[in-house]
């Protein structure tokens, strides 16, 4: 059965209330926090489940400015976000690079949070399912067989930071398609253990629509994760997810 996760992706921000105040406020939330690299150790000292937001596609060597998955593990990270659309669109990361990063994260014994999702044009043309399936197919590397766990985050690009969230019905459709693609392309048994999260303008106001159908395993949250009160409200909403079969 997939684990359920609520993940705070701070992106290149720190909570306006300050890291210590924020972490004190959310200390009992069953959540994962993904701060910028340089705060990983500080956050890890106060909070159990920590994720990095990115990693290098190489183990070590002359790669100025990069940080390896092994180094992130040494800093206390248990998870690494891979292939976020901001990495894909702003920094030009393609499926090949993301597949290599996935391999590094698995080799380091960490759990990858692999982000996928279509842009507005692809959705309007009715290609969302096909595009997300292709992204999962491109991530079907042999090392997946060694992974204890993988998290897939469906984050449609048109919903990130826009205030326009996908509807519960859209999310339900894509989650079904993601599970089908995982069964087809990924090693046996991994699909049923893979958590599928939704991300894109999730707030305490829209979260109940997104959880209603019960197919989602949690959320990857940007903007609303920067305020401890809003993030705690999302942690409470996670408790309203229907019981797993």
Residues that bind ligand 13P (CB under 6 A): 9, 84, 155, 160-161, 199-202, 220-224
Q: Cβ-closest residue to ligand 13P?
A: 222
Active-site position among 93, 103, 118, 155: 155
Instruction: Please choose, from the candidates 226, 225, 227, the residue with its C-alpha nearest in 3D space to the C-alpha of residue 5.
Output: 225
Task: Let me know if 118 is a catalytic residue.
Answer: no
Active-site position among 17, 66, 84, 127: 84
Q: Which residue, 18 or 161, has its beta carbon nearer to ligand 13P?
A: 161
Q: In angstroms, give the least distance from the CB of 222 to ligand 13P.
A: 2
Task: Let me know if 127 is a catalytic residue.
Answer: no
Q: Which residue, 2 or 199, has its beta carbon nearer to ligand 13P?
A: 199
Q: In angstroms, give the least distance from the CB of 188 to ligand 13P.
A: 29
Q: Which residue, 168 or 222, has its beta carbon nearer to ligand 13P?
A: 222
Q: What distance in Å separates the CA atoms of residue 171 and residue 183, rounded to the nearest whole number?
A: 18
Instruction: Note whether 198 and 155 are within 8 A (CB).
Output: yes
Taken in order 91, 153, 72, 19, is the CA torsion positive or negative?
Answer: positive
Q: Which residue, 187 or 223, has its beta carbon nearer to ligand 13P?
A: 223
Question: Furthest-apart CA pair in the chain: how many Å?
Answer: 49
| DSSP of 60-92 | SSS-TT---HHHHHHTT-SEEEES-HHHHHHS-
What residue has token string 């060597």? 61
Q: In angstroms, give the least distance from the CB of 84 to ligand 13P.
A: 6
- Cβ neighbours of 109 (radius 10 Å): 13
Show which residues are catalytic.
Answer: 84, 155
């Amino acid at each position: 059965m997939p684990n359920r996760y609520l993940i705070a992706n701070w992106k290149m921000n720190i909570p306006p209330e300050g890291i210590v105040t924020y972490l004190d406020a959310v200390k009992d939330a069953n959540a994962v926090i993904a701060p910028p690299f340089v705060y990983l150790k500080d956050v890890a000292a106060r909070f159990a489940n920590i994720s990095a937001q990115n990693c290098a596609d190489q183990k070590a060597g002359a790669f100025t400015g990069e940080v390896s998955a092994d180094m992130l593990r040494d800093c206390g990270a248990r998870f690494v976000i891979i292939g976020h659309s901001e990495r894909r669109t702003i920094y030009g990361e393609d499926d090949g690079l993301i597949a290599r990063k996935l391999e590094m994260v698995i080799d380091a014994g960490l759990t990858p949070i692999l982000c996928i999702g279509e842009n507005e044009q692809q959705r309007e043309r009715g290609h969302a399912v096909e595009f997300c399936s292709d992204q999962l197919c491109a991530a079907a590397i042999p090392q997946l067989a060694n992974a204890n766990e993988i998290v897939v985050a469906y984050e449609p690009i048109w919903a990130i930071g826009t205030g326009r969230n996908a509807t519960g019905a859209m999310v339900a459709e894509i989650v079904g398609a993601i599970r089908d693609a995982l069964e087809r392309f990924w090693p046996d048994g991994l699909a049923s253990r893979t958590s599928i999260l939704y991300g894109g303008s999730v707030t305490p106001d829209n979260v109940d629509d997104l959880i209603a159908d019960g197919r989602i395993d949690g959320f990857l949250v940007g903007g609303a994760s920067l305020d401890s009160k809003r993030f705690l409200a999302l942690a409470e909403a996670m408790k309203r997810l229907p019981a797993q079969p």
